[in-house]
Amino acid sequence: MTTHPTWMRRDIDAAPAVCGDLLRGLDTCLPAIAAAIRAASPRFAIVCGRGSSGHAGTFLRYLLGLRGGLIAADASPSILTVHRAAPAMTGALFVVLSQSGRSPDLVATAAAARETGATTLAIVNDPVSPAALACAHVLPILAGPERAVAATKTVINTLAAGAALVAALAGDRMLGDAVAALPSRLADALTLAWDGWSDALVDAPVAYVLARGPALAIAQELALKLGECVGLPALAFSTAEFRHGPRAALAPGMPVLVLHSDDASAADTATLAEELRAAGNRVFVTGADLRAPPAADALIDPIALLVPGYGAIERAARLRGRDPDAPPGLSKVTRTL
């Protein structure tokens, strides 16, 4: 196992600072963007992203529905780029999320959304990327360069930017305060180590990550990183969906990470965790088996879980003899058609 800090570890450690940079930078552009979107009075939202950005899109869709008053759907870029259909998006808020802003399918879908009447916004790390230029409005995530192939600090900043957008659109002061406190919560999360879960991943054939509501996006992201960095097939499910079939594939001994949410789903999630533990699975519940920052805001709290989660994954990759900075077969900029 290598002992020198990986680029992935350095990016995780930088997350609180770069998130603070983002929130300070938003003061210069977010009020005008929110005013323009409100003036357009969108009737619904369409969110477009792939990979980690797609998981940030899942989070944004939940927040738009919960606090923004907008039903939000996934864009499914293949409808346009593969099947050559171009549904009209008049009256929509279209948001494309991407670190590089260079995937052809995302760029084409953003351009089509703008041409067919949507109010378009790019949440990107590169404000002059093709995806950004295809949109009427740009919200830079200001995460700076990221050397590791696996995205970490850029994902956290994308989540934070989406939450800040929803707070501004809704005039939701409580949500805005929770976003403003995020850098300090990320700093607190850097003190947390999920070594027990990390150790359980080393000899596992497969892993599961379960969550509910906005935390599902975090579960999806951690499962992706397990495959990407650790080389471990991993499945993410809503705790509700897990009961509708996937649970049957879970064999005793498989590690299951359960992300606790301090909301109405908490009791049901706890019951499921105990059932799985009784069936012989290695279950790790955040806030119980794994330390988590104290609950503050049920919508924003899941973001901070990425810090110890990413850290555990980076450690597990090294324990399995893999370089988390350079997953085989992958590159930093991914282009899909």
pLDDT, tens digit, 9 for 90 and up, residues 122-155:
999 999 999 999 999 999 999 999 888 899 999 9
Residue-level length of the chain: 337
- The residue written with tokens 């991943």 in the block is 201
How far from 304 is each of 49, 129, 151, 160, 293, CA to CA, in Å?
A: 21, 28, 15, 10, 7
Segment 160-199, tens digit of pLDDT: 999 999 999 999 999 999 999 999 999 999 999 999 999 9
13 and 124 share one domain: yes
167 and 236 share one domain: no
Segment 260-310, tens digit of pLDDT: 999 999 999 999 999 999 999 999 999 999 999 999 999 999 999 999 999
Q: Answer yes or no: is 31 within a domain.
A: yes
Reported pTM? 0.95
Q: Answer yes or no: is 330 within a domain.
A: no
24 and 157 share one domain: yes
129 and 87 share one domain: yes
Q: Answer yes or no: is 115 within a domain.
A: yes
Q: Answer yes or no: is 331 within a domain.
A: no
Residue 331 above 70 pLDDT?
A: no
- Rounded CA separation 52/44 (Å): 23
51 and 169 share one domain: yes
Its domain, for residue 67, covers 7-187
Q: Running DSSP on this structure, what letter comes out for residue 76?
A: -
132 and 247 share one domain: no
Q: How many domains would you assign to the chain?
A: 2
90 and 228 share one domain: no
- Rounded CA separation 238/269 (Å): 10
221 and 163 share one domain: no
- Rounded CA separation 62/41 (Å): 19
- Rounded CA separation 44/181 (Å): 29
Tell me, what's the pLDDT at 205? 94
Q: Which residue has the higher pLDDT, 220 or 247?
A: 220
Taking a C-beta distance cutoff of 8 angstroms, is the pair 183, 19 a contact?
Answer: yes
Q: Answer yes or no: is 21 within a domain.
A: yes
Q: Answer yes or no: is 324 within a domain.
A: no
Q: How close are the terminal C-alpha atoms of the chain, in Å?
A: 37
Domain C-terminal end among 137, 157, 187: 187
Q: Which CATH number does the domain housing residue 238 bear?
A: 3.40.50.10490
Beta 44-48 vs 72-74: how paired, if at all? parallel
Three-class SS state of 34? helix
Give the residue from 249, 244, 239 showing the smallest Cα distance to 206.
249
Q: Running DSSP on this structure, what letter comes out for residue 230?
A: I
pLDDT, mean of residues 191-216: 97
